[in-house]
Amino acid sequence: MFNNKSILITGGSGLFGRCFIETILRDYPGVKKIIIYSRDVQKQEEILALYPKKQFPQLRYFIGDVRDKDRLIRACGGVDIIVHAATIASIEAAEYNPEECVKTNIIGAENVIDAALKNNVHDVVALSSDKACAPSNLYGATQLVSDKLFVAANNLTGSNDIKFSVVRYGNVMGSKGSVIPLFIARKKLGGRTLPITDKRMTRFIISNQEVLSAVEYALENHMGGEIFIPKVSSYKVTDLATAIAPEMDQEEIGRRPGEKIDEKLISSADSQVTLDLGKFYAILPSMVYTGHRLLEDYKEHYNAELVPEGFHYSSNDNPVFETVDSLRDKIRMYIDASIKF
């Protein structure tokens, strides 16, 4: 679906962006253009070193911030698809720098929407987080607002053929600041203990490739306004610690401000507007102002039914849990093939 298309990815020099670039170049050799839009010059230069201009003329580089609407509008000229991956994703950084988090995660989302509308971009998918479901911290709250903005943007399209949707997911394996790289680093340093904020804690787990598959599914199928949630597995943080460093003690240090014991991707309040699509769930818009996107239209489009009333999707009662052995397999597959357990 990406052949002969021009794609812009915000935050394109990050972990997801690099996976996205690699996959699109491999699977869609006819892609017209991939625009990497980010503010990190060094990371863009690293990507350029991996993909020299002569061999990969379809890659373009824009230094820019999603806070800069004019720059975004210019970058989106002639673009068919936007994948919005730029965000401040640190819970602690957001609490200490709330204005900056709002500028990037909320104002940035508004700017992406405006740039897409002004350039008549055909498809827009924004990446989101489980922190956006029943948020208990500022980062999650800004992600929820961003989700709502992209869902509501479908009511601003007028006669233009533009669709906006969201892909929401849990912890990405190996992402910067996440627990797996932390535990591996502590193990390599030869420490005696692994810090665990709360031993009851559970989390969802997903690979970048699974995120990319969800984005592809959204772009191929969305009507506009859906929040897509891939069905993934969960793990206990204590099992993860055992998987990585069975020789190290697990020290409970107390939860950080705004940190939950379990995470949700779908709240029970959303069950009345959530479809079960098989490999995915889709939360539909709770308020629709255009007559061509009604509940029955979504159900017919996906040949799907609503989840039971009161349903929720939480990491602690997920039907699929990773074991110590399966966590080790995933770490070898997605993070470090040579790691010794």
Measured between alpha carbons, how far apart are the two ends of the chain, in Å? 40
From CA 297, how far away is CA 96, in angstroms rounded? 43
Catalytic residue of the set 5, 131, 236, 260: 131
Give yes or no: 32 in active site.
no
Give the β-pairing of 123-129 and 33-38.
Answer: unpaired
Coil, helix or strand for 30?
coil
The answer to whether the beta carbons of residues 99 and 26 sit under 8 Å apart is no
The dihedral through the CA atoms of 15, 227, 64, 5 has a sign that is positive
Distances (CA, A) of 22 to 47, 166, 240, 333: 10, 22, 28, 17
Radius of gyration of the chain (CA): 20
And the tokens for 268? Answer: 């029970």
* 176-182 own/partner pairs: CB under 8 Å, 24+ apart: 176/14, 176/15, 177/89, 177/90, 179/203, 179/237, 179/240, 180/240, 180/244, 180/331, 180/335, 181/335
- Positions marked active-site: 131
